[in-house]
Amino acid sequence: MKKAFLNCLIAALCMVLIGAPMASAKSYPKKPIKVIVPYSPGGDCDLTSRVWADFAKKELGVPVVVVNKTGGSGMLGTSFVLRSKPDGYTLMLAQAGTALLVPLLAGANYDYNDFTFISRIMTANCGIAVRKDAPWNTLEDFVKDAKANPGKFVFASPGATTWVTLAMTNFEKTAGLKLKHLEHQGAAPAITSILGKHADVTFVFPQSYAPQVKSGNMKLLALGEKTDKFPGVASFEDQGYAGNYFGWGGITGPKGMPKEVVEKLNAFNKKLTQDPKFIQTLANTHADAGYLNPEDFAKAVSNQNKELTEVVKSIEK
């Protein structure tokens, strides 16, 4: 009797030991995942997060819920995520603004080292846009005109702490231009200013310029990278200005996430960025799927941070 009991105990123990690693690998995710959006609903971060959540829910088998936590130009939502437990159940779609700029410019209590970078999933081909009837057709035309008339032309900025404004400032420094900066709260008011002739040029994300360019109200002078969607528009690099002129977004979590969780999410993202349905849905928001694995993603972010720190330092001088 005792021997049988002991045998059972040993058998049970063996089963537990064998089953345990399998159980913990299968155990993520075992409860709903929260994707935090540090901005209000409807914006590009919100939309992309919701699209990702939709696909993730089907693949991972648990509810994936988007929660908006707005405030402080994205600081509130971001610091909430970074202070959460790094167990893979609180994630966010990080972008240049939240991960790099807010810490650099607004003195947040975190910086890009506090993130676990899982995978980059999208890129956005940002571009310089002007009114259809503007006298410039290429970037060179504009640069020549602006150099000859320092302080005359107005740049409609989507916001002092946005990445596009800093990138534009960087461009101005490289090209030796002096433009007036008209600050707006977001890209839409900036575009309105251009159309209403209160400003001359702007640098925005595709979802803002695409409808206007397609309808003929505005034209592009340069893009982050050449694309078939807008034939005839040269990229920044083609016109002689190297640098990071496209936006990105990637899935991240707080620092210290377990390797298996990162691997699982990364594998899903890799598959996702090749899924034609995902690419099509992203295209609705005028973004492109752009996959980078965790190491490359982290490296790209750190490089961009170096670049932006230089720009910020040179502005503050």
Partner 1 sequence: MLENIISGLFSILSPGPLAGIALGVTTGLVFGAIPGISGIMAIAILLPMTFYVSPLIGIPMLLGIYKAGIFGGSISAILLNTPGAPPAVCTAMEGYPLTVKGKAKKALNTALTASVFGDAFSTMLLIFVAAPLSVITLKAGPSEKFCIIILALTVVGSISGPSIIKGIICAGLGIWVSTIGVSETSGATRFDFGSGDLIGGISLIPMVIGLLCLPEVFRQVGTMAGGQAEKAKLVLSKNKDDNRFTFKEFLYCLPTMIKSSCIGSVLGALPGLGASPSAFMAYSEAQRSSKKPEDFGKGAIDGLAAPEAANNATTGSAMIPMLTLGIPGDDVTAILMGAFMIQGITPGPTIFYEHTHLIYGIFGGLIVCDIMLYLITKAGFNIWIKLAQLPKYIIFSCVTVFCFVGAYSINQSLFDILTLITFGVAGLLMNKYHLSVGAFIIGFVLGPIWERAYDQSMVISDGSFSIFFTRPIPVFFLLLSLVAVLSIIRTRAKAKQRLEAQALKT
Binding-site ranges for partner 1 (CB under 8 A): 40-43, 46-47, 50-51, 54, 66-73, 75-76, 79, 105-107, 109, 154, 159-161, 180-185, 188-189, 191-193, 195-198, 207-208, 210-212, 214-217, 281, 284-286
Q: Shortest CA distance to 176 belongs to which of 147, 140, 218?
A: 147
CB of 26 to partner 1, least distance (A): 28
Nearer to partner 1 by Cβ, of 66 and 262: the residue is 66
Q: Please, which residue, 42 or 232, has the CB nearer to partner 1?
A: 42
260-271 burial code (b ≥16 CB/10 A, e <16): ebbebbbebbee
Please state, as a whole number, how many other Cβ atoms lie within 10 Å of the Cβ of residue 236.
Answer: 25
Closest CB to partner 1 among residues 139, 194: 194
Least distance (Å) between residue 123 CB and partner 1: 18
Q: Where are the beta strands (DSSP E) in the chain?
A: 33-37, 64-68, 90-95, 115-124, 127-131, 154-157, 180-183, 201-204, 218-223, 247-254, 288-292
- Comparison of 111 and 263: residue with beta carbon closer to partner 1: 111
Closest CB to partner 1 among residues 25, 106: 106
Counting Cα atoms < 13 Å in the Cβ hemisphere of 57 gives: 13
223 strand-pairing partners = 127, 235
Least distance from C-beta 266 to partner 1, angstroms? Answer: 25
Rounded to a whole number of angstroms, the minimum distance from the CB of residue 7 to partner 1 is 53
Q: What does DSSP assign to residue 257?
A: -
Closer of 135 and 196 to partner 1 (Cβ) = 196
Smallest separation, CB 80 to partner 1 (Å): 8
Based on DSSP, count helices (H) and strands (E) in the chain, helices before strands: 12, 11
CB of 18 to partner 1, least distance (A): 41
Q: Which residue has tokens 């972010």?
A: 301
Rounded to the nearest whole angstrom, what is the least distance from the CB of residue 3 to partner 1 in the complex?
Answer: 57
On whether the CB atoms of residues 222 and 246 are closer than 8 A, the answer is no
Q: Which residues contact 58 (CB under 8 A, 6 or more apart)?
A: none
C-beta of 123 vs 165, nearer to partner 1: 165
